[in-house]
């Protein structure tokens, strides 16, 4: 498999349709620009859907890729290594911020186990049936995946994207459920942006103290040494310092762009995967929105590199897709305004109407 092949498969959203949407917006009763970013979102959705007026977002879905990362053994996370399955269970039981928001917004949640480090019997078969391997390798000293596992994970993401597109999902809110995932994500971003570990090391959604931050920075530094020699091959990069969940997310993002399925990115993990996908297919980011600022410095660097401007900055750092889901109502509002605001009546028609009334 060569991820560069996606470059020939992905087209940009329809520019002609976007111009039609812009012209329609100029005719509406609210002056262009008065709705700020909502105007841009409505026009982007029109281009993605190839429809003027834009169609409402009726079947959004949250998709979460789950996995454990061996690097968490170094104490780089606020959660114990190998406990991502607890996040999955809590989400399934409705006891996480993401689950509460999904219930509030009536958005279904799909969780895909790509690399959890737990017995499969602990979770529903619908979650664990796609697992590529049990946990990912400790990327500071060993590869996260074998080459075969990396390809299997990417193909998993592609298959999930196809399933969502075929089922009628019209927008994806993308997140992750992982322990150690932000360390792998920061390593990928640092490698692809050519920066040092200290510049990209954050404190993660679970929060870590200063000592843990130093351990995390050291782990990213050591992982970067292993990442730099394989920068020319995205699949090998994912195998070396990524993980099953990150490789699956990358494949998912690429195939969503192929299928013209818009995606809202959440935090640093989905942004890192998006950056890898952009390296493979430069048009792919045109199909994604950055949902929110996560507080992770690596996410900021990745979004800057992809020229994606986050929709929200509310200080939400919990991760797990919560910030991206909070952006969904904003996107839905943009679609409703673009479609439903009436157009102005031209002056000559208005005068004619007044004349007809006077004659009567």
> Per residue in 11-57, pLDDT tens?
999 999 999 999 999 999 999 889 999 999 999 999 999 999 999 99
Domain boundaries, the chain: 9-54+338-359, 60-328
Q: What angle do CA 149, 114, 171 make, to 5 degrees?
A: 120
CATH class of 60-328: alpha beta
- Predicted local confidence at residue 249, as pLDDT: 98
Task: Name the region of 56 (left: φ>0; alpha: ψ -120 to 50; beta: rest).
Answer: beta
Candidates 252, 259, 307, 311; CA nearest to 285 is: 307
What string of DSSP letters covers 291-359? -B--S-HHHHHHHHHHT---SB-S-----TTHHHHHHHHHHHHHHHHHHHSPBPPPHHHHHHHHHHHHH
CATH class of 9-54+338-359: mainly alpha
Which pTM was predicted? 0.94
- Predicted local confidence at residue 24, as pLDDT: 93
pLDDT at 82 over 60: yes
Nearest-angstrom CA–CA distance, 52 and 75: 51
Question: Which are the catalytic amino acids?
Answer: 320
pLDDT at 355 over 90: no
Average confidence (pLDDT) over 284-298: 94
pLDDT at 359 over 70: no
Which residue spans within 143-193 are E strands per DSSP? 171-179
Are 79 and 190 in contact, with CB atoms under 8 Å apart?
no
pLDDT at 191 over 90: yes
Average confidence (pLDDT) over 167-175: 97
């Amino acid at each position: 498999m060569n991820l560069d092949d996606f470059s020939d498969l992905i087209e940009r959203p329809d520019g002609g349709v976007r111009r039609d949407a812009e012209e329609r917006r100029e005719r509406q009763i609210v002056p262009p620009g008065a709705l700020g970013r909502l105007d841009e979102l409505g026009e982007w959705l029109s281009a993605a859907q190839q429809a003027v007026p834009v169609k409402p977002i009726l079947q959004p879905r949250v998709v979460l890729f789950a996995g454990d990362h061996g690097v968490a053994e170094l104490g780089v996370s606020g959660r114990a290594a190998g406990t991502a399955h607890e996040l999955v269970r809590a989400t399934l039981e409705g006891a996480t911020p993401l689950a509460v928001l999904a219930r509030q917004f009536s958005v279904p949640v799909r969780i895909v186990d790509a690399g959890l480090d737990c017995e499969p019997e602990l979770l529903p078969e619908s979650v664990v049936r796609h697992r590529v391997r049990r946990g990912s390798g400790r990327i500071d000293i060993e590869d996260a995946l074998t080459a075969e596992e990396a390809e299997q994970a990417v193909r998993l993401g592609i298959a999930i994207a196809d399933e969502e597109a075929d089922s009628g999902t019209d927008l994806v809110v993308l997140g992750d459920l992982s322990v150690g995932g932000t360390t792998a994500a920061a390593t990928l971003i640092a490698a692809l942006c050519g920066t040092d570990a200290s510049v990209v090391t954050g404190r993660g959604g679970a929060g870590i103290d200063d000592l843990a931050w130093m351990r995390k920075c050291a782990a990213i530094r050591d992982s970067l040494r292993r990442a730099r020699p394989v920068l020319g091959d995205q699949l090998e990069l994912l195998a070396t310092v990524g993980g099953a969940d990150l490789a699956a997310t990358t494949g998912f993002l690429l195939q969503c762009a192929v299928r013209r399925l818009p995606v809202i990115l959440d935090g640093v993990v989905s942004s890192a995967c998006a950056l890898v996908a952009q390296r493979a297919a430069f048009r792919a980011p045109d199909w994604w929105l950055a949902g929110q600022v996560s507080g992770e410095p690596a996410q900021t660097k990745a979004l800057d590199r992809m020229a994606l401007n986050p929709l929200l900055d509310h200080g939400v750092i919990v991760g797990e897709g919560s910030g991206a889901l909070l952006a969904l109502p904003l996107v839905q509002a943009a679609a409703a305004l673009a479609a439903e605001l009436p157009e102005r009546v031209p002056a000559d028609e208005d005068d004619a109407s007044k004349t007809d009334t006077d004659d009567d």
